[in-house]
Structure 1
Amino acid sequence: MSFFDDLPARPERPRQPKPVPPVWAGPPSDELPAVVSLGQFFHRSAQMVMAAKSVEVFSTGCLIEVVWSVRRADESDSDWSRVIDQCFNRGPYRLDSDNGRGGALRFGVAFPDGRKTTTAQLHPGMFEGEEPVTGPVLMSAGGGGGSSNDDELFCSNKFWLWPLPLGGDTRVVAQWEDLGLKEESVLITGEQLGTAAANVQKYWVTPLPEPGG
């Protein structure tokens, strides 16, 4: 008889319950969003271009994609290094920090009802359940970018906005004073968001059969 014959059966691993993240923390994992093309510039200069590319609309909120590109002018190595850190959301220039210092990159949103929020308004209690989160919330949802040389950078970032602003126009605001962007905004109309919200699709339309059924 082989050593591996007649071994006890491997026990069944208990099924882990599905985690349910807070609704404000990101888009639903079971929805196909409706995409709104924006194609609007915040800023265009000889050194820097920034634009709002698109919005992915979910039932609870939306992902706003912003792209930017920077060309090196007469910056010293240390100044250019600071621009790189700002561009790629690193160190003390992270978008979720209080980064009003020194003309760093900043983003915010004005809701149709007058409320406003920025990426720097997150606080630890939001993640620990110490108090209810009523919103609005704007947070970086990841991005990327790079450079093939020492003279130009490009970056793309998505921002999760909760709740979904309906009932009027929404203004997305950017500021990057170090690179000449004082404060500019692009408009997402209530019609664009409302139409897209009506076209969000759920992944699962048929329930699973009961176990053992």
Structure 2
Amino acid sequence: MGTSVEMGAAEDGRYEQWARRSGPPDNEVPVVVPVSAVLGRGDGVAVVLAGVAAASNSFSLTIGVQLRQQPEDDDLPRQVTASGPVQGHLLLGLEDADGRRVSTVQHAGWPPQVEDTTLTMTGRGGGGGGRIYDQEYWVSPLPADGPLRVVVRWDARGVPETVTEVDGAAVAAAGRGAVELWPWEAAVEPDHEEDRGRRPTDGWFSQP
């Protein structure tokens, strides 16, 4: 029993750590970084860096896709937003100046095995239609001083593997300027015992 409790506590700690790094801090206002770039091009398609915003311990990348003509198939949204070894999807990778790497091909596993020094990238919201699509990723921690290499490849759309360097020091400096609204606090887990109030008070369904 003692071992189970200890493992559960460890998993809770890893989950809390992952939750803090997989999205924008809910107690901060991130700083927009004035950077944009064409990351890769194919015949009638461009992959662009459409936006960067930095918080105190992490930052977002918004990857945009612009098409010259309306796509003839309806598989484009999946190709842009998919992660893992999905056939035909847009591959995105990051390499920090200190050599740490992360990409959309990797799977983090569960519970997440992340340390403060591990480079992580989590897909957030995305969408679009017609000839413009985008996908946001949240990356942690902030980049080291030096070039942050952004690597894209999209075989299904004829975009060759292309490397673009972004000023990691500028992103980190922006993060240090993020506005803290209030001290960070761990989210309160919902009390699932409250669900029992929806059960009948007698008979078979009254039992958990």
- Shared fold per TM-score greater than 0.5: yes
CA drift at 1:142? 1.1
Alignment match of 1:164 (pick from 137, 142, 167): 142
1:189 corresponds in structure 2 to 167
1:85 corresponds in structure 2 to 78
2:52 corresponds in structure 1 to 55
Which runs of no fewer than 5 residues in structure 1 stay unpaired?
1-18, 148-152, 206-213
- Structure-1 separation of matches of 2:114 and 2:178: 27
CA drift at 1:46? 4.4
Distance 1:186 1:115, change over 3 A: same
CA drift at 1:29? 0.6
Larger radius of gyration: 1
Alignment match of 1:137 (pick from 105, 120, 144): 120
On the 8 A contact 1:23/1:60 being kept in 2, the answer is no
On the 8 A contact 1:108/1:138 being kept in 2, the answer is no
Residue 119 in structure 1 maps to residue 110 in structure 2: no
In proportion to residue count, which structure has more helix?
Answer: 2
Deviations 1:72-98 (A, max 9, x none): 58x8x6xx24445313x3xxxx22x22
2:91 corresponds in structure 1 to 106
Corresponding residue SS for 2:85 = coil
Q: Structure 2-normalised TM-score? A: 0.70
Deviations 1:40-66 (A, max 9, x none): 101345410221022110111100111
Deviations 1:163-213 (A, max 9, x none): 1112221111111012121111322213312321231110138xxxxxxxx
Q: Structure 1-normalised TM-score? A: 0.69
Corresponding residue SS for 1:121 = coil
CA drift at 1:70? 2.3
Residue 41 in structure 1 maps to residue 28 in structure 2: no
CA drift at 1:104? 2.7
- Structure-2 separation of matches of 1:98 and 1:45: 21
Distance 1:123 1:166, change over 3 A: closer
On the 8 A contact 2:49/2:64 being kept in 1, the answer is yes
Which runs of no fewer than 5 residues in structure 2 stay unpaired?
1-14, 184-208
Distance 1:162 1:84, change over 3 A: closer
- Identity in percent: 23
On the 8 A contact 2:56/2:177 being kept in 1, the answer is no
Q: Report the RMSD for the aligned CA atoms in angstroms.
A: 2.5
- Structure-1 separation of matches of 2:136 and 2:95: 17
On the 8 A contact 1:27/1:60 being kept in 2, the answer is no
On the 8 A contact 1:34/1:57 being kept in 2, the answer is yes
On the 8 A contact 1:63/1:161 being kept in 2, the answer is yes
Runs (4+) of structure 1 exceeding 3 A deviation are 81-85, 131-134
On the 8 A contact 2:98/2:144 being kept in 1, the answer is no
- Structure-1 separation of matches of 2:179 and 2:129: 33
The one-letter amino acid paired with 1:191 is A
Deviations 1:102-147 (A, max 9, x none): x43111100111111112323332xx35x44452111211112012
